[in-house]
Structure 1
Amino acid sequence: MIALVARQPILDKNLNIFSYELLFRGKDSESFNGEQATAQVIMNTLESIGFTNLTEGQPAFINFTAELLKQGIPDLLAPEMVYIEVLETVTVDQKLLSGLETYKEMGFKIVLDDFVFSEDLIPLIKLADYIKIDFIITKGAERKKIITICNQYNSDIQYIAEKVETYDEFFAAKDMGFDYFQGFFFTKPKIIKAKKINSYSFTFFKMMKELNKDDPKIKKIEEIIKSDLSMSYSLLRIINSAHYGYDVKSIRQAIVLLGVDRLRKWSLLYFLKGLDNEKPDILFKTAILRANFAESLAGYFGDNRGENLFVLGLLSVIDAYLDRKLENILAEISLSNNLKEALIKREGQLGDLLLFIEAFEKLNLKEAENYIEKYSINYGMVFDNYSTALEKTKDIVEAFENNKL
């Protein structure tokens, strides 16, 4: 039985990463019970990826059944790295409560998952550090009512709104008093509207338009880069970094040495990271992770030019960066019809690739398996590729944070 582990970010009110929930699905998911699922999450994380790579040093939320808690499985884990997420299916009894009390004393945080109030859960409420309220299961005023009731028994609880899929839901949750937010609202535009292009964006669009032509002109690329001092500096920094090992003083020489494909990647990364807006860091990390993951799957989705798939992954969230309609953004960039159809309509093989990645992000295994079967993807390879994509993403993000790119 092969299992996959993926992560979903949990953000604070300022859209900074607070933690990641580690999620599991198995290929033969019906054959995995709750105990096996959590065991796979823990073992795959410890043995294959490592907590540091998967959660970037942030705490990991991991689901635990009552049986695993009674068996003492959290004893294997570090309290500062793991938050115990108690599944909504547990039956509350004295043995469970005694175990949770012990774990709290050890320093573990207790999280109640998919919470809907009932009186038999009051002992759990008194122990809880966090309560997660599902925005699909609960509606409107019901969410606020749960908070009000739980605060009567434990005023120190912090609340997590989960399955938040739009910015409207995010803002509503903030107004209700939620402290943290889980869902993929941050990958979507806040408002679709006509938005004036600033000079920074304009330079990027000119660059991408030239780079994506069938026969891009070195002289034209040089002119565009030289028109932007920051871009010129960044290019010389990357070409002269230890990774490449050159000693280059000329923009033209840097362009020739990098080549069109690597220039395309660099310009996209430079643009997304450098945007002066309120977008969360997790959006940049998600874009890079999608890009690396997509590139690793090039052999399965009918495009052996992995660089194009890197660009595809990055551009899949560009509407969220610019808060503009994707069709309008792509009209200003010279892209192949295959890439445009994939990005706008999720059509064609590359559209399937994006749908597969999005399903994998949410661990919607049923949908993901449709593409695994359709394209004869090696199931075990997906986990390896995802692990490698995480490592590459970490390296790229660190390079930007250290001003190396």
Structure 2
Amino acid sequence: MAAVVARQPILDKNKDVFAYELLFRGGDPTSDNFDGDKATARVISSALESIGFKKLTEGKPAFINFTDKLLKQGIPDLLAPGNVYLEILEDIKVDDHLLYALKTYKEMGFKIVLDDFIFSENLISLVELADFIKIDFLAIRGSARKNIIETCQKYNSNLKFLGEKIETHADYIMAVNLGYDYFQGYFFTKPEIIQTRESNSYEFSFFKMMEELNKEEPEFKTLEEIVKSDFSMSYSLLRIINSAHFGYDVKSIRQAIVLLGVDKLRKWSLLYFLKGLNSNKPDILFKTAVLRANFAESLSKYFCDDKSSNLFVLGLLSVIDGYLDRDIKDILEEISLFGEFKQALISREGKLGDLLSLIESFEKLNLKQCQQYLAKYSLDYNTFSRKYINSLEKTEEIINAFENY
């Protein structure tokens, strides 16, 4: 059975990663014969052993969806209580058997999470047991988002509240002000404020570097001057070129630039600048950028020919507006990026636009939409999932490398 494993970060009020929601599916979820219970049970018991729990969650807790059937069958017994939060689906049928199972799991150390929660009196017994309640910000609007907190706290004052499908900073700020404790959604990849503003010196160097690198024939002398103007950048470049990965013994910036070549220099400089721009952004934004870059690069043969290095850059640039808090169109004009890359980044047009849409649908755990793209480009679940896991490993390696420079 083909396995799909996806994860989505859950952030705290400081925008630090608190946990990851893990979604496990086997086979094609759009098939008439698809059995979600059997698929989830089989994938949890097998995929976690082969992929590794720590690799998926980076040592953070994992939120995992369970149906009443899986809970009653004892599937959570396969998992470590301290690392797993049991998400109870919104359509669950409450009965004595289920309540007994949840009480037992809670005594074992599992946390209980009510997913896509809408209050009704028949759910009070679950509210009393729960540790977390998740509110879908697309389904619940206005004053109801606050009323749910006030109502549920009457029955359980220790509850924590998680706003999910938080896709904009406006929703994030609203959730914070309403008293939510945790947040799930890709609001952190979007610009906080889009407006005309002056760039600081660091951003100015970024734009100069990208503009030169995106020319048909970049001038090495100009690139050398830009790198030399930033001591930290010079140091980082020399550390990279002299690392075990490349195995050189280089003392000259010009020599380092020539040895790396334009494609690798474009990769490195983007990583360098994004890491620096990350100082006032959540760490998960940099991880998301690097993961998208690795994932896009790994899928290059399905979406283009001989452009794997450029697809790495495409993945990194897909969140550049979130870093600079500016309109993506204006940013791409300033770094002289045109053609299919520009259309893919702005409006998700063409094959490369489909690639970004595929990655984003997978990030958001929208597997039905994901399957449409997989079918369009003749990608099977096994291959896709394997490339995602490999991309997670590469991402961890890159992030660890940059933390040491």
Q: Would you say same fold, with TM above 0.5?
A: yes
Q: Does 1:43 align with 2:45?
A: yes
Aligned to 1:340: 342
Give the whole-Å Cα distance in 1 for the aligned partners of 2:365 and 2:14. 26
Q: Please tell me whether the aligned partners of residues 24 and 44 of structure 2 are also in contact (alpha carbons under 8 angstroms).
A: no
Give the whole-Å Cα distance in 2 for the aligned partners of 1:279 and 1:133. 25
Give the whole-Å Cα distance in 2 for the aligned partners of 1:276 and 1:170. 19
Query: Which one is further off, 49-58 or 356-365?
Result: 356-365
Aligned to 2:358: 356
Aligned to 2:9: 9
Give the whole-Å Cα distance in 2 for the aligned partners of 1:265 and 1:251. 16
- Report the residue type matching 2:110 in the other structure: F
Query: Which one is further off, 223-232 or 367-376?
Result: 367-376
Determine helix, strand or coil for the equivalent of 1:80.
Answer: helix
Q: Please tell me whether the aligned partners of residues 4 and 381 of structure 2 are also in contact (alpha carbons under 8 angstroms).
A: no
**Alpha-carbon offset, residue 193 of structure 1:** 0.8
Runs (5+) with no aligned partner, structure 1: none
Determine helix, strand or coil for the equivalent of 1:331.
Answer: helix
Q: Please tell me whether the aligned partners of residues 53 and 394 of structure 1 are also in contact (alpha carbons under 8 angstroms).
A: no
CA 276–2 in structure 1, closer or farther in 2 if over 3 Å, else same: closer
Give the whole-Å Cα distance in 1 for the aligned partners of 2:224 and 2:45. 50
Runs (5+) with no aligned partner, structure 2: none
**Alpha-carbon offset, residue 262 of structure 1:** 1.0
- The one of 96, 99, 102 equivalent to 1:97 is 99
**Alpha-carbon offset, residue 17 of structure 1:** 0.1
- Report the residue type matching 1:90 in the other structure: I
- The one of 292, 306, 325 equivalent to 1:304 is 306
Query: Which one is further off, 4-13 or 83-92?
Result: 83-92
Give the whole-Å Cα distance in 2 for the aligned partners of 1:33 and 1:372. 20
Determine helix, strand or coil for the equivalent of 1:88.
Answer: coil
Q: Please tell me whether the aligned partners of residues 110 and 128 of structure 1 are also in contact (alpha carbons under 8 angstroms).
A: yes
Give the whole-Å Cα distance in 2 for the aligned partners of 1:150 and 1:367. 34
Q: Please tell me whether the aligned partners of residues 265 and 310 of structure 1 are also in contact (alpha carbons under 8 angstroms).
A: yes
Aligned to 2:18: 18
Aligned to 1:220: 222
Aligned to 2:201: 199
Give the whole-Å Cα distance in 1 for the aligned partners of 2:73 and 2:232. 57
Deviation digits for residues 274-328 of structure 1, max 9, x if unmatched? 1165311111111111100100111111232101100000000100110101111
**Alpha-carbon offset, residue 25 of structure 1:** 4.2
- Report the residue type matching 2:190 in the other structure: K
Query: Which one is further off, 43-52 or 11-20?
Result: 43-52
Give the whole-Å Cα distance in 1 for the aligned partners of 2:61 and 2:358. 27
RMSD after superposition: 1.5
Q: Please tell me whether the aligned partners of residues 5 and 44 of structure 1 are also in contact (alpha carbons under 8 angstroms).
A: no
Aligned to 1:77: 79
**Alpha-carbon offset, residue 251 of structure 1:** 0.7
Q: Please tell me whether the aligned partners of residues 3 and 40 of structure 1 are also in contact (alpha carbons under 8 angstroms).
A: no
Give the whole-Å Cα distance in 2 for the aligned partners of 1:37 and 1:131. 25
Give the whole-Å Cα distance in 2 for the aligned partners of 1:398 and 1:45. 25
Give the whole-Å Cα distance in 1 for the aligned partners of 2:243 and 2:279. 28
Give the whole-Å Cα distance in 2 for the aligned partners of 1:347 and 1:238. 35
CA 362–37 in structure 1, closer or farther in 2 if over 3 Å, else same: farther
Q: Does 1:168 align with 2:177?
A: no
CA 34–276 in structure 1, closer or farther in 2 if over 3 Å, else same: closer
Q: Please tell me whether the aligned partners of residues 278 and 323 of structure 2 are also in contact (alpha carbons under 8 angstroms).
A: no
Determine helix, strand or coil for the equivalent of 1:300.
Answer: helix
Aligned to 2:238: 236
**Alpha-carbon offset, residue 118 of structure 1:** 1.0
Q: Please tell me whether the aligned partners of residues 61 and 83 of structure 1 are also in contact (alpha carbons under 8 angstroms).
A: yes
Aligned to 1:396: 398
- Report the residue type matching 1:17 in the other structure: V
- The one of 386, 389, 393 equivalent to 2:388 is 386
TM-score of the two chains, using structure 2 as the length reference: 0.96
CA 213–40 in structure 1, closer or farther in 2 if over 3 Å, else same: farther
Q: Please tell me whether the aligned partners of residues 24 and 40 of structure 1 are also in contact (alpha carbons under 8 angstroms).
A: no
- Report the residue type matching 1:239 in the other structure: I
Give the whole-Å Cα distance in 2 for the aligned partners of 1:162 and 1:385. 27
Give the whole-Å Cα distance in 2 for the aligned partners of 1:278 and 1:118. 41
Aligned to 2:121: 119
- The one of 41, 46, 60 equivalent to 1:58 is 60
- The one of 324, 338, 347 equivalent to 2:326 is 324
Aligned to 2:210: 208
Give the whole-Å Cα distance in 1 for the aligned partners of 2:175 and 2:13. 10
Give the whole-Å Cα distance in 2 for the aligned partners of 1:194 and 1:335. 20
**Alpha-carbon offset, residue 55 of structure 1:** 0.8
Q: Please tell me whether the aligned partners of residues 19 and 62 of structure 2 are also in contact (alpha carbons under 8 angstroms).
A: yes
Q: Please tell me whether the aligned partners of residues 22 and 41 of structure 1 are also in contact (alpha carbons under 8 angstroms).
A: no
Determine helix, strand or coil for the equivalent of 2:334.
Answer: coil
- Report the residue type matching 2:332 in the other structure: L
Query: Which one is further off, 302-311 or 276-285?
Result: 276-285
**Alpha-carbon offset, residue 78 of structure 1:** 0.5
Aligned to 2:112: 110
What percent identity do the matched residue pairs reach?
66
**Alpha-carbon offset, residue 247 of structure 1:** 2.1
Q: Give the alignment of 1:245-324 within 5 angstroms.
A: 245-275=247-277, 277-324=279-326
